[in-house]
């Protein structure tokens, strides 16, 4: 499983990316799936009321969708990259190390930071 560097653009003309095509990310906390759903919602909102036969209007709507979603998903990709390292370090612990980790309260602290979006501290 891998991610990719964030893209500067997702499309051109009447074509755009959404979901993993535009922003593949490590599967942490179902963020990839949830971002794809948010992409779908945003693209629908930007195309609502647009005459789909009007190529220029469609192009404008798609670029507006990209301009809204790219910065958000780029942030999630980068946060997931950090979280993936943390997750893998936990996965490599022995059973005894995991027990000690849980009993120390460190895992609970990590969960609190994740819930607050404090990814730089994980």
6-19 pLDDT, tens per residue? Answer: 999 999 999 999 99
Q: Which residue has the higher pLDDT, 25 or 40?
A: 40
Residue 88's pLDDT band, with cuts at 50, 70 and 90, is: confident
Q: pLDDT per residue over 26-81, tens digit each?
A: 887 788 899 999 999 999 999 999 999 999 999 999 999 999 999 999 988 888 88
Q: How far apart are CA 99 and CA 102, in angstroms?
A: 5
């Amino acid at each position: 499983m891998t991610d990719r560097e964030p893209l500067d653009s997702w499309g051109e003309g009447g074509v755009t990316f959404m979901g993993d095509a535009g922003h593949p990310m490590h599967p942490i906390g179902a963020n990839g799936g949830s971002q794809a759903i948010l992409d779908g919602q945003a693209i629908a909102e930007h195309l609502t009321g647009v005459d789909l036969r009007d190529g220029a209007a469609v192009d404008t709507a798609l670029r507006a969708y990209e301009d809204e979603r790219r910065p958000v998903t780029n942030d999630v990709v980068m946060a997931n990259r950090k979280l993936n390292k943390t997750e893998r370090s936990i996965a490599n612990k022995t059973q005894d190390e995991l027990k000690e980790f849980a009993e120390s309260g460190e895992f609970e602290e990590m969960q609190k930071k994740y819930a607050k979006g404090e990814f730089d501290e994980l």
